[in-house]
Chain A
Amino acid sequence: MKLKEIVEKMSLEVIGTATDLDREVTGGYASDLLSDVLANAREGDLWITLQIHSNVVAVASMKGLSGIVLINNREPEEDTVKKAESENVPILVSKMPAFELVGKLYALGIKGSQDNA
């Protein structure tokens, strides 16, 4: 599913303007531990987290993730927004907590790693 579609269906707020949302989301990963995401997320995953410092952009870009969704209406730091635009990593914000957002994404057919195996 295209990221654009997810943004619409989950009513996510798009942070910044410079990133393109026309990319394919192939799975999902939820974690607030950067080392865990580095180790276990897969390319194309949409990352659900409440971490807002700019390191998240570095991790997402390194792993080729399709985007970052901040939960509980968290606001990214200024640095994070700038870095995201320069690295072309979409940052989206949801009002929902992780559990609910993941539940709804899952119902849309965005699966976690074990589910594709």
Chain B
Amino acid sequence: MKLKQLKEVLNAKVLYGDKFLDKDVKMACGSDLMSDVLAFIKADAVLLTGLTNPQVVRTAEMAEVIAICFVRGKKPQEKTLKLAQEKEIPVLVSEFSMYACCGRLYKEGLLSCDGLK
């Protein structure tokens, strides 16, 4: 699914990265614990999280995440957004809960990061 489809499914706002909306998202990972993200996420996945500190972007960089989507309408800290721009990682925010975001994306056929095992 294209990032812009994901944006529609989650009714999300793009805080950074309009120019990346044509990128392909293959998988998704929903977690608030960055070590869990590092352990399970695959490259080109979208990271859904309720955490908004800069470490989320650092983790995304290490795990080669394609985009970050904050759930529950949580606006990221300013330094988080700045770091995301620096690393060129798109940032979205959805008003839906983590649960609803996962449910909707899974319904649209997005794969889970477990898929390659």
Binding site for B on A (CB under 8 A): 28-33, 36, 40, 48, 50-51, 72, 96-100, 102-107, 111-115
Chain A residues near B99: list those with CB within 8 A.
Answer: 28-30, 48, 102, 106, 112-113
The answer to whether B33 touches A113 (Cβ under 8 A) is: no
The answer to whether B106 touches A106 (Cβ under 8 A) is: yes
Nearest CB of A to B78, in Å: 21
B66 proximal to A (CB < 8 A): no
The answer to whether B105 touches A99 (Cβ under 8 A) is: yes
Nearest CB of B to A50, in Å: 6
Per-residue interface assignment for chain B, residues 90 to 110, with 1 indicating a CB less than 8 Å from any chain A CB and 0 otherwise: 000001111110111111001
Size of the B side of the interface (Cβ < 8 Å), in residues, is 28
The answer to whether A107 touches B106 (Cβ under 8 A) is: yes
B15 proximal to A (CB < 8 A): no
- Contact with A103, one of B36, B40, B97, B107 (Cβ below 8 angstroms): B107
Binding site for A on B (CB under 8 A): 28-33, 36, 40, 48, 50-51, 72, 95-100, 102-107, 110, 112-114
The answer to whether B33 touches A106 (Cβ under 8 A) is: no
Chain B residues near A99: list those with CB within 8 A.
Answer: 28-30, 48, 102, 105-106, 110, 112-113
Chain A residues near B97: list those with CB within 8 A.
Answer: 29-30, 40, 112-114
Chain A residues near B31: list those with CB within 8 A.
Answer: 32, 50, 98
The answer to whether B50 touches A31 (Cβ under 8 A) is: yes
